[in-house]
Chains A and B, each alone.
Chain A
Amino acid sequence: MLFFRSEERVREWCEARGWPVRPLVRMNQLWGLATAWYATRLQPDSRRPRPAEMRGIFAGLGLDDDFWSPEKNL
C-alpha cells in the first residue's frame, strides 16, 4: 500500500515487477478509507469493519471493483 506521484509511475513500478496495475485510489478516497478504519480505533468500543461493512465502505467511495471484495481471491 504505497504512494505514487502519478499513474505513469504506478505503471512503471508494476511493469518492473510483472504485476498487474490495480485500481488507483485518489487522496480523498484514501481519506475515506482511513477514517472508516481508524476514526474510532483509540476508543473502547472500536473494531475493524466486518466484511459486509467493508463492501459498503468501498462502494460508498466508488471502489466497486472485485479487487476490493473481502472474499474474492483474485
Chain B
Amino acid sequence: MDIDLEVKLAVYGYFVETSARPASDEVARRLGVSVGTVRDAFARLRAQRLLFLEEDGEIRMAPPFSGIPTQHVVDVGGRSYFANCAWDALGIPAALRKEAAVLSRCEQSGVPLRLAVGLEGPEPSDWLFHCAVPAARWWDDLVFT
C-alpha cells in the first residue's frame, strides 16, 4: 500500500473513531513513519482534493468530516461528528453507512433542522439545499463554499 493511501485511511479512521482531526504527529505515530512523510502525504492528498489543510499544513477538513466545530452536527450511534456543510452533513451517514440524525438550521431564519437519515436516505422533508458558489469554483475558497 502506498504511503498516501495509508495516510488517507489513517486520517479517516481517526475521524471515525474519535470525531476529531488527527495531527500529523498522531498519524506518523500510528503508521510508524516520520512527521515529514505524513506532511508530504497531506499536501499530495490536498492536491487530489481529498483533504483541505490549514495554513500550517495540518488538517482542516477530510470531507465530509470537519476538523473544527460547525453548525452541522451529525449524531451516529451516540457519537457526534461535525460536517463541513449541508452536503457533507448527509455525506457522513453516506460514508459511514449508518443511520444518523442531522442537526442544523435554516441559514436565514435560524429555525432548527433535525433530519433523520436512514440507510436509504433522509426521511421525507421539504427543506432545501442552496449553494451560492458555482461548481467550477467550489475549491477556490472551500471554507466559504
- How many CB-defined contacts (below 8 Å) exist between A and B? 157
**Which residues of A are in contact with B by a Cβ distance under 8 Å?**
1-7, 9-10, 12-14, 17, 19, 21-22, 24-31, 33-35, 37-39, 41-42, 44, 47-48, 54, 58, 66-74
Q: In the bound complex, do residue B137 and residue A38 qualify as a contact, i.e. CB atoms below 8 Å apart? A: no
CB-based nearest A residue for B124: A27
- Other-chain contact of B130, A2, A42, A54, A70 (Cβ < 8 Å): A2
Q: In the bound complex, do residue A44 and residue B9 qualify as a contact, i.e. CB atoms below 8 Å apart? A: yes
The answer to whether A3 and B95 touch (CB under 8 A), given A14-B132, A41-B64, A72-B134, is no
Which has the most chain A C-beta neighbours within 10 Å: B50, B95, B97?
Answer: B95
Which has the most chain B C-beta neighbours within 10 Å: A2, A44, A70?
Answer: A2
The number of chain B residues touching the other chain, given as a range, is 35 or more
Q: Which B residues lie within 8 Å of A19 (CB)?
A: 132
Could you list 9 examples of A-B contacts with CB < 8 Å?
A1-B129, A27-B126, A29-B129, A31-B121, A38-B88, A47-B48, A47-B50, A58-B135, A68-B135
A7–B108 Cα distance when bound, in Å, is: 11
Q: Which A residues lie within 8 Å of B135 (CB)?
A: 54, 58, 67-70
Interface residues of B in 66-115 (CB under 8 A from A): 84-97, 104-109, 111, 113, 115
